[in-house]
Amino acid sequence: MEETAYNATVTGKITLTPDLMVLRIKTDEERNIFEAGQFTAIGLLAKEERSDNSVAPIKDLEPDKMIKRPYSIASANHQTNIFEFYISQVKSGQLTPRLFALELGDRMWIDKRMLGVFKLNETPAGKNIVMVATGTGLAPYISFLRSHLKDHQDIKLTVIHGASYPWDLGYLSELEFMAATFPNFSYFPTLLNADDTWTGLRGFIEEHMKSDLLKEQAGIELDPEQTHVYLCGNPNMVKSVSGFLSEKGYTLHKKKQPGALHVETF
């Protein structure tokens, strides 16, 4: 496959840590408006360079093979030719080390299709929304908040984001700004490995979900009749929080069996 298959240009790259970045690309052609929470595939040819911070992959690929992987979109849904992705590097992976080697102006590939059923704006009217994430699982919530926060001032919304260190909290400043601007929105980052300079929450997300944090500081009751919960991130977190919520009467949302618990797996 020739490089002419590329259809987008890197317009922004924010390296948060050696293995965590925000990548912005501009497509050659406009895309359709998508639903906040959806994902698309991005890709590079195997002949592209790998980052200096990567290790050798398990196997080599043919130089002209297009390596594609799905990523949740972090940009607002009305931005139809500017797309943003929140990406963690897998050092021995095939695609992410190549993505981390990109520079401004480099070319790459992005799918024309926007897929997925993790659509936050399909939450029934009048229901509060709790968005729970670890790591880069935050991306679909950023898209939703950028797209729809201003339209949902009649309900309470919150983000609980778990990470290891302060520098792993991508979008910290933006989320703090949203929380300061919209009185119905709250943001709770929690860290597992923080030094004494960190004054926020510590520990696993599950601990805070089981406490009175949401009720006392966000005014949100964990009741499926009042509040929908979205989970995205580490499978162990998703399993643990899902189990806790099931005890409170939450059921997994399905197309033919609507529930108040929505899960995105990756």
pTM, two decimals, is 0.95
Contact between residue 188 and residue 161 where contact means Cβ atoms under 8 Å apart: yes
Q: Cα separation of 90 and 180, whole Å? A: 34
pLDDT mean for each 10 residues of the chain (266 residues) = 76 97 97 94 97 91 95 96 97 97 98 94 95 97 97 96 95 98 98 93 96 96 97 96 97 93 88
Do 150 and 81 lie in one domain? The reply is: no
Residue 115 lies in a domain: no
Element containing residue 2 per DSSP (H, E): none
User: What is the residue range of 130's domain?
Assistant: 120-264
Number of domains composing the chain: 2
Domain boundary among 54, 88, 110: 110
- Check residue 214 and report its DSSP letter: I
Residues 163 and 216 in one domain: yes
Beta pairing class for 201-202 and 227-232: unpaired
**End of a domain among 110, 140, 173?**
110
Q: In what helix (H) or strand (E) does residue 101 lie, and over which residues does it extend?
A: none
From CA 192, how far away is CA 169, in angstroms rounded? 12
Query: Distance of CA 166 to CAs 20, 23, 49, 115, Å?
Result: 12, 20, 30, 31
